[in-house]
Amino acid sequence: MIRLGPLDLVGLAGVCAYVVAHFLVQVRHEPPLSRRVVLLNVIGPLCVLASLAGAFNLSSFLSQSLWLLLTLAGWWRQRRAHAKPGPGVAGGHVDVVPAKPSGDAGITVEPGP
């Protein structure tokens, strides 16, 4: 029988977080940058990295570290994009400006040659 220590269980919890995140995106069609998917993609590598304290593996360390960094970079980039309103946008919503009641739609038709 296989004996699992506490660090092994933490690592397995991380793998479960990865699988659930992948399931949510692929089967449930949840956006990859949804709060739940990002959280699971942060929990997964943190748990696997913690489990490496018991038996270090350089390949696992590098893949988990990069996965964590890329997840956080995507999350940070999304937050910054939503925090910076562009022209005509306030707080992530488009500003609607009522048209002038002058009857002129602002279109000028020039006679041809």
pLDDT digits (tens, 9 = 90+) for 33-91: 999 999 999 999 999 999 999 999 999 999 999 999 999 999 999 999 888 765 655 55
Q: Across residues 92-111, what is the average pLDDT?
A: 53
Residue matched to tokens 């699988």: 19
Q: What is the sign, positive or negative, of the torsion defined by CA atoms of 68, 37, 73, 43?
A: negative
Helices H / strands E in the chain, number of each: 3, 2
Distance CA 20, CA 88 (A): 38
pLDDT reading at 107 higher than 60: no
Residue-level pLDDT at 101: 57
pLDDT digits (tens, 9 = 90+) for 9-22: 999 999 999 999 99
